[in-house]
Chain A
Amino acid sequence: MATKLKQAIFDKRMLGDSVTKLSPLYLAKKSPVMFTVEVGFFLLLAIGLLPNMSLEFVNENRIFYIESAIILIVTVWFATFSESLSESQARAKVDSLRNLEKEVLAKKLVDGKEVLVNSANLKVGDRVRVYAGEIIPRDGIVHQGRAFIDESMMTGESNPAFKEKDNPVLGGTKVANDSIIIEITSEAGKSFLDEMVGLIESAKRPKTKNEIALTILLAGLSLIFIIVVGTMLFFGYYLGYHMDISILVALLVALMPTTIGALLPAIGVAGINRLARDNIIVKSGKGVEAAGDCDILILDKTGTITEGARRAIAFVPMEKFTDEDIAQAAYAASFSDHTHEGTSIIELANEKKIEPPFMMEIMTGKPVEFSSETRFSGIEFSPKKKLSTTQDQTLKSTLPRTRVSAKVEELEESNTPVKILKGSVEAILKIATNVNEPELRWKAQEVSKSGGTPLAVAVNDEIIGLISLKDTLKKDIRTKLDEVHVAGITTVMITGDNLLTAQVIAREANIDQIIAEAKPTDKLNRVVEEQLKGHVVGMIGDGTNDAPALAKADIGLAMNRGTAAAREAANMVDLDSDPSKILKVIKLGKQLLMTRGAITTFSIANDVAKYFAILPAMFMKDNPKMEVLNVMQLHSPESAVLSTLIFNAIVIPMLIPLSLKGVKYKPELPERTFIKNMMMYGVGGVVLPFAGIKAIDLLLSVFMR
């Protein structure tokens, strides 16, 4: 923080901004409280500088007026400084985002040849070829070829979707196998960065409802204090007190909620800023604020709660085989499968310390690629030459023989090519018939019940067993969701999976409600339904079919890799496409409000001490009865006024870090949060100025004799 602050202080543009913002015209429009302080500055300055000011209400010496005036203008500058500081931080973030903005290279077809172009330069009608493992640069339709496309990031469906000619494909999705030619059908998406820049240029930043309400309240309070102080001048005069303009101005400035008035703009910008630091682009402050109120969170299963990529978690052998058999076969079948699922199978086998004895064969074997027609993959090897067999013999003796290795050996000896394949139960059943089908089906169902997806593994025509693939929970998601619960938010999981699988995941992740086998319209329906019940709904989406729900939800967080429609509809976009970040947004929304509330409370609580500092200074000379009020025993009326003003001013920069960082938020019962904050900022706000003003007064008294 300290270094950041130092950097910021030397940021010329920011300093310039903070000075231009001192313009009375700007302040009158943006911050009535600060404007009033500035009027006080001009008034005192005029009295201090103009010659021969001998008015009824001017009794102090010239230097005192100038000193007070300087403190006032510094107070205003602190306010503009805090605003400029948070703006400059936001600007820095935007610049770095600009550099980071990644564009995909696309292989555009020009006269049948592939030309590498930037995805941003693609136009509607362009054709691009996309190979397995590559990302589709923009929304389009399949022009040629067919392929499985991993759309989990868009639709939440973890099974790849099969697309052929004229099927629409979404930008940002990944081709899983084969290659296709796509015709681009959409314009380049609008940059959210531009909107972000607009947002941080506070002139354009629309105030949120709560901000407006607070500004009104603060203006109302200020007006009341203006009436109070204005009429005091008269009453004091008629009652025979020696009223002094500077003391009245000081009292007014002290009473007005200058602290919150000064920091309010900075808090708003800082909120957007802090989200930007987490790579979330906010399109309106409204969404962030609504996030604080969110009490229903609709989450996609895939990608948010679970990793979105399935991993092998268990091997299920058929009756005739053992764990080792299926592990060895699965290992072999996945050896050349470099997808996430494939490697996870190898990892699982390694974990179990199982390795097929026929490693040599596997390594030299021919991979069977996954294809859309066959829907299985694996490995194939022919019988080896004698030479290698003898070498193998020695190896074999060290490893325990299993049925599978025996079978492989047997097949090799009989000179039959060996095919070890894995695929969906249906696909494998088509090629492998040597199996007790009811048993297989029953075991597959068990796997489903535990929340997994079964893959069958066969060696030639015999099915060895199943691999249970499961979408694993994201790291920390359980803790995060527990926190969400404490904050009083109900979670709803939406998934295309069947109810059984969904229930398992929900139980594991501590989800309150599920919508299983969800249709695309279910999300929108649920959002509307909850909103009618009065809930504030947060949701995440990335697919085009999410767009209506995203637009309807109070907090819509779109993934950057999602479709343009989704990004357009949502009120924030996460550049990292990490759906669990919505929890961060909720936390931040709460923090924003809390920070405003805390500093407002602090500001108002401060007034108590300020009365006790200034009123004795104002009245004690003429009315000995006021001695009772002089609990602070300040050095002199002048030092009392100056130290109150100085305290009032330095509180602002002291609270800048708090307003930029936000009040600490811990998920807990609101009552507890309230009591904690009230103690800290309410009671603290009463006590601190007593100590602070007294300390400053002690310091000043050294200089003032």
Chain B
Amino acid sequence: MDIVILLVVLVGSLGLAVVFGRYIARMIIYEKRPLEKTLGRVENGFYKIIGVDKYEQMTWKQYTLALIVTNAIAAGFLLAVLIYQNNLPLSPKPGLSLDLAFNTAASFVTNTNLQHYAGDQQLSIFSQMVGLTFLMFVAPASGMAAAFAFIRGFIRKEFGLGNFYVDFTRIILTLLLPIAFFSALLLLFLGAPQTLDPTITVGTLQGGNQTITIGPVASLESIKDLGSNGGGFFGANSAHPFENPTGVSNVFECILMLVIPLSFPVAYGHLLGKGRGISILAAMLIGFGVMLALGFSEQSGPTGLETRFGSFGSALFQESSIATNTGSANASLTGMSPNAVIGLFLGMFVQAIPGADGAGMMMMIIFVILTLFLVGLMVGKTPEFMSMKISPRDVKLAAFVFLIHPALILVPSVLAYTTESAQSILGEQTTPATFTQVLYEYSSAAANNGSDYLGTSANTPFWNWSTMAVMLLGRYAPFVLMLAIAGSFTLRDRKEVVEPIKTSGFLFVGVLSIMVFVLTVLTFFPFLIMGPFSM
């Protein structure tokens, strides 16, 4: 049975990825999509409203700036909603504290969805449905747009990386919204509620009345998983029966999380050669396979797990969620076995197996560039990617991308201990388990993942501000560096020269996988040993 479920998830997400990958490829090169005329009309109307010239092409700097400004505006909007939700309609609740509001705004705009609050208790329906759900579209759309621009850097020559506003609009209107809409309907059908009433009151078996929190769950749930967001309506996230009612919804949500990240290599294959796309997809799946194997290798629970899903269903959902940097959870992390947790860490350390919508693909290409650098040296050729020479600047920027991640995880973790912030919420005595929680918190923030052990207990100024900084740096610093790489590649000469080592095929997949593994494990091995391994 387990194996069937696993196959359904893999085949289902891959099958959909083939369809959406093709569509995304068309979006990247502005080719005709199905219903182009109708869609075009809707989009054009939208461009008119926001005053965008859809034909304008941006340099990498303009593109990055547009992305950051748009994100800042969206984050500002959410910030205001959260602080002033007491004055806003639909079941108003007290406004959030400044640090929590900032943390939450940063968390949702960076596609992280780290939640230092309990959604059902602390947020109004308006905050959830308008504020959070809106950002749940903005964040993945920004990530995907960045990946569009990044990929264009390798296929275009000297006419910019595209137009951020156009990409952003098209991704939301013609990709995320329709899929999210249909997924919401399906979730509704599977049992998730969708209502504007904040609570329902039901009679219990004992004859008393119970008030149950409820709301527009299905709509938030679908984009939560589709957009690698992960911020649940309820504090219990996908372990809550309203968010994830049955085993079937569990499988469906897994597919929803995996589909867009897996579509990117497919799109890449359409644009830069089928073999290359398949090879990157294969490398991602190998990494994901390692995570799954770790998850299944040891029985998790039973405490902390939902009996509906069991050890297998929980491990499958958790590993899928962390692998795609979605960060939703259908079980408590404390219930997961040490091996499963090591698997989760692996996903957050690599960020590209398959990683978040768009961001995962970019990260994988950075791995590819570094791999090619070493491979090129090994065969005595100046390293090339797509027949373009890899310059010292590319290596420098890529090295920074790799440097940022451990720095953002490890340095704040040390700060959490030296400022006694960790001890104050986890106890004076530091154990491998509590160390794992601290490490996990910052790994999750740096990888823009969002799952965490700490939850509302981390709602202190230190944790709110520090994770906010880590989330912002973990999102935008790599974006800037990656787009800078794409920006310089797009100026480079394309050559019709045979690649010294093919960027496809078994050899390449093998080397790439080993490279990903070695670079990650060498960096984080001691911490995995001190943390989850010693639990």
Contacts and interface: CB of A to CB of B under 8 A. Distances in A.
A646 B344 CA distance: 36
B410 interface: yes
A205 interface: no
A227 B411 contact: yes
Contact of B382 (A217, A234, A292): A292
Looking at B382, B387, B430, B432, which has the most chain A CB atoms within 10 Å of its CB?
B382
A359 interface: no
Contacts of A677: 378-379
A593 B376 contact: yes
A214 B376 CA distance: 12
A215 to B, nearest CB: 8
B350 to A, nearest CB: 15
Given A292-B380, A535-B497, A674-B375, A228 B530 contact: no
A360 interface: no
Nearest to B534: A625
B493 to A, nearest CB: 6
B396 A216 contact: yes
Interface string B155-170: 0000000000000000
Interface in A267-323: 289-290, 292-293, 295
Nearest to A238: B430
Interface in B511-526: 511, 518, 522-526
Nearest to A534: B495
B522 A255 contact: yes
B413 interface: yes
A57 interface: no
A533 B530 contact: no
B412 to A, nearest CB: 10
Secondary structure of the B contact surface, majority rule: helix
B403 interface: yes
Contacts of B527: 228, 232, 235
B191 interface: no
B386 to A, nearest CB: 11
B494 A231 contact: no
B396 A604 contact: no
Contacts of B403: 220, 223-224, 227
A637 to B, nearest CB: 16
B379 A594 contact: yes
A590 B380 contact: yes
B286 interface: no
Nearest to A607: B522
B430 A216 contact: no
A162 B375 CA distance: 54
A293 B432 CA distance: 51
Interface in A563-597: 589-594, 596-597
Contact of A604 (B418, B493, B494, B522): B522
Interface string B372-384: 0111111111110
B507 interface: yes
Contacts of A590: 379-381
Contacts of B533: 625
Interface in A186-227: 209-210, 212-214, 216-217, 219-221, 223-225, 227
A607 B406 CA distance: 17
B48 to A, nearest CB: 43
A212 to B, nearest CB: 4
Contacts of B522: 255, 604, 607-608, 611
A670 interface: yes
B382 A534 contact: no
Contacts of B526: 228, 232, 611, 615
Given A220-B399, A533-B495, A231 B410 contact: yes
Interface in A75-120: none
A673 B493 contact: no
Contacts of A625: 533-534
Interface string A233-268: 011101110000000000000010000000000000
B525 to A, nearest CB: 6
Nearest to A605: B518
Nearest to B432: A239
Contacts of B399: 216-217, 219-221
A650 B414 CA distance: 35
A70 interface: no
B378 to A, nearest CB: 4
Contacts of A290: 382
Given A216-B395, A292-B382, A604 B497 contact: no
Given A232-B526, A235-B527, A589 B380 contact: yes
A328 interface: no
Nearest to B390: A213
B378 A234 contact: no
A289 B407 contact: no
Given A488-B498, A600-B374, A619-B530, A674 B435 contact: no
Contact of A227 (B400, B407, B494): B407
Contacts of A232: 526-527, 530
Contacts of A240: 430
B199 interface: no
Contacts of B235: none
Given A213-B373, A534-B387, A292 B381 contact: yes
A665 B495 CA distance: 26
B495 A670 contact: no
Looking at A209, A533, A598, which has the most chain B CB atoms within 10 Å of its CB?
A209
Contact of A593 (B382, B395, B498, B524): B382
A670 B500 contact: yes
A293 B382 contact: yes
A72 B111 CA distance: 45
A158 interface: no
A626 interface: yes
A597 B411 contact: no
B497 A239 contact: no
Interface string B387-398: 100111011100
B529 interface: yes
A678 B511 contact: yes
B381 A236 contact: no
Nearest to A255: B522
A670 B414 contact: no
A348 interface: no
A623 interface: yes
Contacts of B30: none
Contacts of A468: none
A533 B496 contact: yes
A78 to B, nearest CB: 22
Contacts of B376: 593, 597
B13 to A, nearest CB: 32
Interface in B414-465: 414, 417-418, 430-432, 435
B60 interface: no
Contacts of A589: 380
Contacts of B394: 213
A406 interface: no
Contacts of B435: 235, 238-239
Nearest to B370: A217
19 contacts: A213-B395, A216-B399, A217-B370, A227-B403, A227-B406, A235-B527, A238-B435, A293-B382, A488-B500, A535-B497, A590-B381, A591-B380, A593-B382, A600-B374, A608-B518, A619-B529, A625-B533, A629-B529, A671-B502
Interface of A: 209-210, 212-214, 216-217, 219-221, 223-225, 227-228, 231-232, 234-236, 238-240, 255, 289-290, 292-293, 295, 488, 533-535, 589-594, 596-598, 600-601, 604-605, 607-608, 611, 615, 619, 623, 625-626, 629, 665, 670-671, 673-675, 677-678, 681
Given A608-B522, A673-B379, 20 more contacts: A209-B392, A210-B377, A216-B392, A216-B396, A217-B373, A221-B399, A232-B527, A234-B418, A235-B435, A289-B382, A293-B382, A534-B387, A535-B497, A597-B375, A600-B377, A601-B378, A611-B522, A615-B526, A629-B529, A678-B378
Closest 3 CB pairs of A and B: A534-B495, A597-B377, A590-B380
